[in-house]
Structure 1
Amino acid sequence: MPGLATVAMGIWSGAGSRHERAEEQGLAHLLEHMAFKGTTRRNALQIAEEIEAVGGEVNAETNTEYTAYYARTLGPDMPLAVDILTDILADPAFDMTELAREKEVILQEIGSYEDTPDEVVFDMVMETAFAGAPIGRRILGTPKTVRAQNPKTMRGFMDRTYRLPSMVVSAAGAIDHDALIHEVGSRLSSFSHDQAPEPELALYTGGDSRRVKALEQAHLVFGFDAPSWRDPDHYAMHVFSNILGGGMSSRLFQEVREKRGLCYEIYSFFSPFSDSGFFAIYGGTGEMQLTDYTPLVLDTLCEATKSVTMAEVSRAKAQMKMSLLTALESPGRRAEQMARHMLAYGRVLPRDEMVSMIDAITIDDVCRVASRSLQAPPTIAAIGPIKPLMSIDAMVARLGTPVPKMN
């Protein structure tokens, strides 16, 4: 990226929470936490001191389908970033003292999470939408599964899932491509060249999950089946999500908040995965407003599936292109986008190709994809003072969707 003096680079492994076995729940996230806790060459303090001595930073994150380890440095210091990232992946120490301490940190994180209802409701909705499937499990894991992990289970998970065919080194900014290839070289050669096992399929089920709790607000998510990354319709699904709840001009924001004052926060989102996808509406409202809020949200959704306008489609497409092109101007986001493309498609999609696919979306595409989502049972997740919330049968009748099978 001409004109930049810094480099954002990272190593993405196609091993996330959905690749865990039931007894491993939270293990991918624990590995992320242990990433910078020491190798056989460096302890945790040395890792921090070395990268910060050149003004750089390192971090990691766990996703449903991948784990990323990344760094940001000045251009000339890229070799150090490569050395540290490859060291923590290829030669982690998994020191027992550090591991015990980090487990306690994660247990505190889980506890904090449980005290945040607008976070809990998202775990509830995923567990319900993909009932029994790994993709629906909580990334953080449970206290029981986190406590059960040890160096043997951690190395076993890495051996099984961290394989070169599903690992990507991505960088953007002031980089020399040949120099990067030289630096990475054989540093990752200890990882297997065999394909990692495929994760269990993400089978959408739908369902109803409610938790009455003494809170000021009810937190609600209404979710639906949606296209995967590999389905060309995912672009149209993004457009529909933007129209319905993607900004201050969206239908939900205008109808529910601006015109009626039934909530402070409401939005829709679309999360595509490699073999499935999930579209949902989140909102928070008071107990006394539930009887007005819920039918209004459901009716607004149903109406939108068959009445989007050209102006709305054009606005949503402009928002998508703005987001896409803005990301390409950030080294960190560009490196991430390239890595995600490689994991999802096996290639980096050119900017013009993505823009063309967005431009090609029509009103009919948006309505068709949105209507398709309502052909599967809905997913309801709610926490808080939710006794007045209408029944799942009443919601299904209003939406015209199939009834979810209850476990």
Structure 2
Amino acid sequence: MPADHPEVQRLSNGILAAVAPLPDLESASFMILVPRGEIDDRPGRCGEATVLVEMLSRGTEHLDARAFVEAMDEIGLDRSFDASSEYLTISGSLLPRHFEKGLSLMKEMLAAPRLDPAELPAARQLVYQSALAIDDDPAEKVFVELKRRYHPPPYHRPFGSFPEEILQIEIEELREAARALPSRDLIVAASGKIETEKTLSLIEKVFTDFPNREPASFPQISPERKSGAEHVEKETGAQVQIAAAFPSIPFSDPDFIKVSLATAVLSGGMSGRLFVEVREKRGLVYSVRAFHSAFRPYGTVYAYAGTTPERAEETLRVLVEEMVRLGEGVSAEELKRARTQLRSRVVMSLESARARSGTLATDLFYRGRARSADEILEEIAAVTPEGLNDFLANHPFRDPFVLTLGPEWRKR
């Protein structure tokens, strides 16, 4: 396994720079993480973060939209711009000799965006169509509806909740949001065929004049345990979509690796408990899974299944039973398989500079430090069957909030 020793440095304007070289690769990647996300959208402006990212990508003070695209294409910059609940990300992969130019273009996009009013109608329409497309994907739509009802403010308005609000977003609102993008705790992470000291110096050089602005404070939330069930009747074809939310711990919790192992036991391929019990033994569904997601204040374990109305009651019962049964413990063999799956993900991530830079950035955001791959592997190896089972006994997956979407299925 290639050596992986991340170095972190805080710049004078509060920006955090993290570098973890992967010298065996032939590419370099970076991720810029900005602590401004969907939770910062104004009331009545659900989708503002996504529109902001789309508009940021449409030029700078010195380059209009076409010239900006051509400048990125000239250096072969493979880029992506995304908005999530708590942050925006700008990612890029390219040949190492173009690293400075690519990073400089992205920095200029953030520090001096063009925000041309003529570009706004098209940008709004693209984001609006993306939100509407969620309605065509019932497995995604059910989670939008679940999150709207389950999460407390300001986490209760995920993208796609209110598509019509996207069309109300005005250019001055986006300009105000862009002017407020913070430098303190903004994260620039890099990996691939780069040198540590040289890249840290380069990041400081590129971002040294980035405006020094404080981020908004993150909400301090201790959400109440919400249970129960709701149904949203909607024509989604022949299936009922079932989504369940179970309270869990945040990424920053020292025991988070145990949640990752537990969900791997539940949903780690064809040997996972949910696949075996819900699909293979009973033939109730084609797709079933469980996964962990978290915000800074708290975490959630989700479970999902899609089935016919006639089988929805049994599917939901078995799904919840298997989640609850995990609290009774896992076997040494199940833990061994889960460890192997997590180890594989870590090792394979070292074959991608983009994946590694993303892990560095999110580690810094959620944990306040960047872990090496060796450290993550040691965390995985340190979990014993007794330790995992003690954790599950004290943090059982029970009393979920359930949202079903589709044709009516409940017995009258």
Give the TM-score taking structure 2 as reference length: 0.88
Question: Match for 1:20 among 41, 46, 65?
Answer: 41
Report the counterpart of residue 191 of structure 2 in structure 1.
Answer: 172
SS of the equivalent of 1:281 reads strand
Q: Which is worse superposed, 200-209 or 12-21?
A: 200-209
* Residue from 196, 199, 203 that aligns with 2:223: 203
> Structure 2 matches for 1:311-390, cutoff 5 A?
311-374=333-396, 377-388=399-410
Q: What do the CA deviations read for 1:374-401 (whole angstroms, capped 9, x no partner)?
A: 47742111101242379xxxxxxxxxxx
User: Structure 2 matches for 1:75-90, cutoff 5 A?
Assistant: 75-90=96-111
| CA displacement at 1:56 relative to structure 2 | 2.4
CA contact (8 A) 1:20 1:27 kept: yes
The structure-2 alpha-carbon separation of the partners of 1:298 and 1:186, relative to structure 1 and needing over 3 Å to count, comes to: closer
Question: Shift in Å at residue 198 of structure 1?
Answer: 2.0
Aligned length: 388
Q: State the distance in 2 between where 1:104 and 1:315 align.
A: 45
1:96 is aligned to 2:144: no
Q: What is the deviation of 1:28?
A: 1.3
Q: 1:259 to 1:309 in 2, by over 3 A?
A: same
CA apart distance, 1:76: 0.6
| 1:268 matched to 2:294 | no
Deviations 1:338-391 (A, max 9, x none): 11111122221122222222222233433344344447742111101242379x
- How far did 1:310 drift? 0.8
**Equivalents in 1 of 2:126, 2:287: separation in Å?**
30
Task: Give, in whole Å, the separation in 2 of the partners of 1:349 and 1:19.
Answer: 28
Pairwise CA distance, 1:193 = 4.3
Report the 3-state secondary structure (helix = DSSP H, G, I; strand = E; otherwise coil) of the residue aligned with 1:274: coil
Change (3 A) 1:118 1:110: same
Higher relative contact order, chain-length normalized (CA < 8 Å, sep 6+): 2
Kindly provide the amino acid, as one letter, of the partner of residue 209 in structure 2. Answer: S
- Where do residues 205-354 of structure 1 align in structure 2 (5 Å cutoff)? 205-207=225-227, 208-214=229-235, 215-354=237-376
Q: Bigger CA drift: 187-196 or 248-257?
A: 187-196
Structure 2 CA distance for partners of 1:229 and 1:113, relative to 1, 3 Å = same
Deviations 1:13-60 (A, max 9, x none): 122212334334211111121122111111121122122223222221
Separation in 2 of the partners of 1:382 and 1:230? 30
Q: 1-side partners of 2:101 and 2:93: how far apart?
A: 10
Cα distance in 2 for partners of 1:140, 1:39 equals 28
1:163 corresponds in structure 2 to 182
User: What is the distance in 1 between the residues matched to 2:215 and 2:312?
Assistant: 49
* CA distance in 2: counterparts of 1:303 and 1:140, whole angstroms: 33
The list of structure 1 runs, each at least 4 consecutive aligned residues, that deviate by more than 4 angstroms after superposition, is 371-377
RMSD: 2.1
**Runs of 5+ in structure 1 lacking a partner?**
391-407
104-113 or 345-354, larger mean C-alpha shift: 345-354
| Contact 2:26–2:95, Cα closer than 8 Å, also in 1 | yes
1:53 pairs with one of 48, 53, 74: 74
**Counterpart of 1:349 in 2: which secondary structure?**
coil
Would you say the 8 A contact 1:212–1:387 is kept in 2?
Answer: no
Map of 2:13 onto structure 1: none
